[in-house]
Amino acid sequence: MVVQSAGYHEIEHMADWELHVWAPNLSALFEQAARGMYALSGTHLQNGPRRMKFLNLSAADRESLLVIFLEELLFLGEQEHIGFDNYDDLRLSENRIELQIEGATILSQSKEIKAVTYHNLEIRETKQGYEVNIVFDV
């Protein structure tokens, strides 16, 4: 069986949604988390004009950084109807993330995510890189 070096899959959760995310490095972990979140919410983008944003976010630790990064994407989806599928120049330190994101207007979204939670949130180092489980309130 071929194991992908980066990816995500849904874990059974009684009331909400839980994602297991893994990647060879932290930057890729954040990108996979974003892709997984869009997949969970059934987000599809238009084939229209591309939209770009630059994000510069800071937080007390890398778990908080992951939360505010995903929340930022949710906010842009709700307020500006943009989803993102391209994550460039992602620079990550212990308490800051900077990146350029590119996407398009959301064509459809089947489910609503209320929040990204801190429930048992811990970015762990593995032999292959990093992994994290994220619970979303839906």
Quote the CA–CA distance of 42 and 21 in Å, as a whole number.
17
Pairing of strands 124-125, 96-109: unpaired
Contact between 60 and another protein (CB under 8 A)?
yes
Contact between 79 and another protein (CB under 8 A)?
yes
Contact between 71 and another protein (CB under 8 A)?
yes
Structure tokens at 53: 């944003």
Binding span for another protein by CB under 8 A among 5-13, 23-31, 44-52, 125-133: 5-13
43 DSSP β-pair partners: 109
Residues 91-130 that bind another protein (CB under 8 A): 109-112, 114-121
- Which one, 28 or 69, has the nearer CB to another protein? 69
Q: For tokens 């993330």, what's the residue?
A: 97
**Residue of the chain from 88, 89, 94, 137 that contacts another protein (CB under 8 A):** 137
Structure tokens at 137: 């309130």
103 DSSP β-pair partners: 51, 84
Residues 25-54 that bind another protein (CB under 8 A): 41-42
Quote the CA–CA distance of 102 and 86 in Å, as a whole number.
5
99 DSSP β-pair partners: 55
Binding site for another protein (CB under 8 A): 10-17, 41-42, 59-60, 63-64, 67-68, 71, 75, 77-79, 109-112, 114-121, 135, 137-138
